[in-house]
Every structure is written in structure tokens, then in C-alpha cells.
Amino acid sequence: MKVYALVGTSGTGKSYRAMTLASSKDIEFIIDDGLLIHGSKRLGGKSAKREKTKIAAVKRALFFDEDHREEIKGIIAKANPRSILLIGTSDGMVEKIAAALDFKGIDEIIYIDDIASKEEINMAREERMKHGKHVIPVPTLELKRDFSGYFLDTFKVLLQRRGKEIEMAEKTVMRPSFSYMGKYTIANKALVQIISHVTADIEGVYKVNRIKITKYRQGVAIDVDVTLDYGIHVVETSRTIQTKVKDDMEQMTRINVLSFNVVVKAVHH
């Protein structure tokens, strides 16, 4: 297996350039901040950008955790790729990642200055400094479950592999918890108010009786008891409540709705 590395200081656009570099050199796998990526799929690992502190993020990216490390080693051994790209902020960092994963060494190191202009690097630094934005070279749908409550934006790029047609690839932009810009939280009371407002506004709903929210790391489970107007189709209205509230909740808060149960307690004449 040929091992490549892409090196550049923080905020210079390494993750943004990773997919294009991998495409141009026909590199099969990418390791970026603790994630193992193949094409547009996350094969395994946990993102360092999910950690709450900078120190924890560095440890995650360097595979300090044994379970994390063994998971990635197992997937790589089973897949047996021809090539892999490591991303890091220094030669020392990518060498530590290679050693942690029992690679024999790094065959080629590419520096961000070699594949991006000064203007592009400065633009990437500005995005990091002003907005705290980080790029993950994985489609948003692949990350949604692990990043409940985070504002994720999607953008697409065109890639052309050696001897292959041009294809569209998707990347994700997010701001991690350890960003110097701080973080936001949403109180349960605010979530209840959102759910109550959206539900009550649906045709056929006479009253919202009770709302229960159970929080998990991956998102929330919601239980709603309602009273419907007489003559309304119970099943269809319940499905409308589920769909409408789930979509609005995830759009407004970026919190994943893992389950949504609607119980019709009564019918109002």
C-alpha cells in the first residue's frame, strides 16, 4: 500500500483540497481528523471535530484511543487498499498517524503550498479565523447522525479521476465545539415551544396536550399527545404531524429527530 500525506498548518484548506488531490492521484482512502473515508463514504472512525476541546481533538486525530485505532486498522486490513492519504498539520503529525496505524512509512508528502496558491490559502485562513469553519471531505448525510445540533452546510465540487469521467463530490462545512467562537445550546423549553407551535398550526389539531423530549448524543426522541378535531383522518393527520415537526425541528435547530411518536388522546366535537 502506498501511503501519501498532505501537510499544512491549521486553516490552510487541507481538507478542502483532499478529495481533489486523492482524485488526481487515484488515492483510494483518506484519513482526516480521525475519520476513514473512501470516495463519498465514511468507512469508520470518529471525527476530531466532534470533540469538546482542542486537546481531545488532537488525541482523536492521532488515534490515541485504542478502540478507535483498532477499528480503523481492522477496516484497512480487510479492504487492503492500494493507496491512502493522511492529512496533518506537520510532518511529525502524519508520521505519528502512520506509526499508530502500523504503516511502514510515508512514501510521499505533499505540502498545501504545492497544490494551492497563496490567495487560496489566505482565503481559507480567513474563513477559519472569521467564521470558525472547518471542512470535512464527506457528504453531510454521512455525518448528520454524529453531528446532531451542529450547523452543517453542504457544497459540491467536480472531480476527475485518471482515465475516468468527471464526477460530482460533496463536502461538508461545520464549526466544531472547540472553536474559539464558542458554542450554542438549546434549552428543552425552547424545543417544546417549537414543537407545540408547529403542531398546533397543523390543520385538524385542536390541542397539544403533552410533549416529551428525550435527548441522546445522536439527537432527540419526541413523544406528542394531541387532541384532533372531529372528522379529521387520524392516521393521515398524525403522519403530517410527524413529517412537518421533524422537518421544521431539524431545519431550525439542526438537531436530529431519531423518533417521533404521536398519540391521539381525544377527538374534539
pLDDT tens per residue, range 167-219: 555 555 555 554 544 555 677 888 899 999 999 999 999 999 999 999 887 78
Closest CA to 176 of 200, 147, 155, 156: 147
How big is the CA angle at 63 (ends 75 and 141), to the nearest 5 degrees?
A: 60
- pTM value is 0.60
Q: Is the pLDDT of residue 3 over 60?
A: yes
pLDDT band at 228 (very low <50, low <70, confident <90, very high): very high
Q: Which domains does the chain have, with CATH numbers?
A: 2-174 (no CATH), 188-268 (3.30.70.1350)
- Rounded CA-CA distance 143/40 in Å is 11
Q: Residue 154 has what pLDDT? A: 60
Q: Is the CB of residue 108 less than 8 Å from the CB of residue 19?
A: no
Least confident residue range of 41-55, 75-89, 221-235: 41-55
Q: Which pairs with CB-CB distance under 8 Å and at least 24 residues apart come from 33-38?
A: 33/57, 33/60, 33/61, 33/87, 33/136, 34/60, 34/61, 34/63, 34/68, 35/136, 35/138, 36/72, 36/75, 36/76, 37/137, 37/138, 38/79, 38/81
AA letter at 99: A
